[in-house]
Amino acid sequence: MDEVEDLPIHREEPPPHIHVAECQIKPLLKDTDYDAINKCFATPNLCQKEIEPNVVYKDGEQIKFLLLPRAISEAAWLKAHVAAHDAHMQSNSRREANAQAYGRKLTLGWIDLRLPNYENMRTAPTLEQPDLLAALYPLIRDMDRLIERAVPAYYNYAFKCAMTAVRPNTEHDDLSRITNKRELQIVEALDPWSLTYTIRGTVFSTVEFNRNIVFKAHEDGHNVDGTCVGITTLGSYAGGRLVFPRYGYSAELGPRDFLLCDNNHELHGNLGPIVGDRFSVVAFLHDSVCGRTEVDGWGPPYEGGDGLPTPEG
């Protein structure tokens, strides 16, 4: 597939609905016990239950997790898998991972990091690694379509939220460091319409691309309220089970598996060690991209939930 010719995205009628069962769950941990494990490494006693495939777990109306096994297409997974091994990974900047000699991460897509010497909304790795970005496009598109097929009501809410991430007409990233025409096309096509802070019209604005990081239990805390993250993994590895301590559930993600989960207000972390090369692709809608300009039809800019549609809307 040619990365440049394939750049324009064409939204089609979604494939047939993926049937999923629904399961209501309640917390196992008291608030004091939950707070006590924040910023601590996960242990096996925190994950007594397995996330079953094709079941959407909810606490009330909020989706907590949904595992779709081997749902990512082979072509999209393989393209991203090959690119992952060629990526130039930077040392992880998260404090809880600093001691991990082989842990690396990249942030791709849109985010306002409020750095004093960097004003672009596109992240620096987005500008520096366009080939990796292009290789991830089909994977992210697959993740988006899987959500639409499996949980269409949630997808409608997430899509409406994403459509509040409108780019001001006066805002333009400085792309002068990109001198290759093909690479410039890839980076410009992050949003082909120059309209939103989405990754090619999906419900995601940003991707964390991690290699061999065993994360301590933490909440993301800066995703748009009510939205979930999409996770899949690349590479050949063992270990890295993802744990959700509050509910006692966990999942071991394999090739082409897709997990939709509430990382925003739920502690989550990995079980170590990791053997081999484990790359995780974590896609989400970051709250810094919403409300940067007025959005016709959606009310005032996003400020802690104001102006966003409700899950029922």
Each residue of 125-168: pLDDT tens digit? 999 999 999 999 999 999 999 999 999 999 999 999 999 999 99
pLDDT at residue number 301: 36
DSSP states along the chain = --TTTT-S-------SPPP-EEEE----S-HHHHHHTTTS---GGG--EEPPBTEEEEETTEEEEEEETT-S-HHHHHHHHHHHHH--PEEP--GGGTT-TT-EEEEEEB----BTTB--SB-HHHHH-HHHHHHHHHHHHHHHHHHHHH-HHHHHHHHHHHTT-BPPTT-----TT---HHHHHHHHTTSTTSSBSSSTTSS-SEEEEEES--PPSB----BPTT--EEEEEEEEEE---EEETTTTEEE---TT-EEEE--SSS-BEE-S--EEEEEEEEEE-BGGGSSSS-BTTTBSPPBTTBTSPPTT-
Question: Higher model confidence: residue 8 or residue 220?
Answer: 220
What values do phi and psi take at 281, rounded to 5? -110, 110
Cβ pair 108, 120 in contact under 8 A: no
pTM more than 0.95? no
Instruction: Return phi, psi of residue 249, to 5°.
Output: -105, 155
How confident is the model at residue 292, as a pLDDT? 86
Q: pLDDT tens digits for 261-303?
A: 999 999 999 999 999 999 999 999 999 999 888 655 443 333 3
Q: What is the CATH number of domain 21-289?
A: 2.60.120.620
Which tokens in the block code for residue 117?
A: 């010497």
Read off the pLDDT band of 308 (50, 70, 90). Answer: very low
Percentage of the residues of the chain whose pLDDT score is greater than 90: 77
* Rounded (10°) CA dihedral 52, 56, 61, 63: 80
Q: Percent of the chain, pLDDT > 70?
A: 85
pLDDT score, position 89: 77
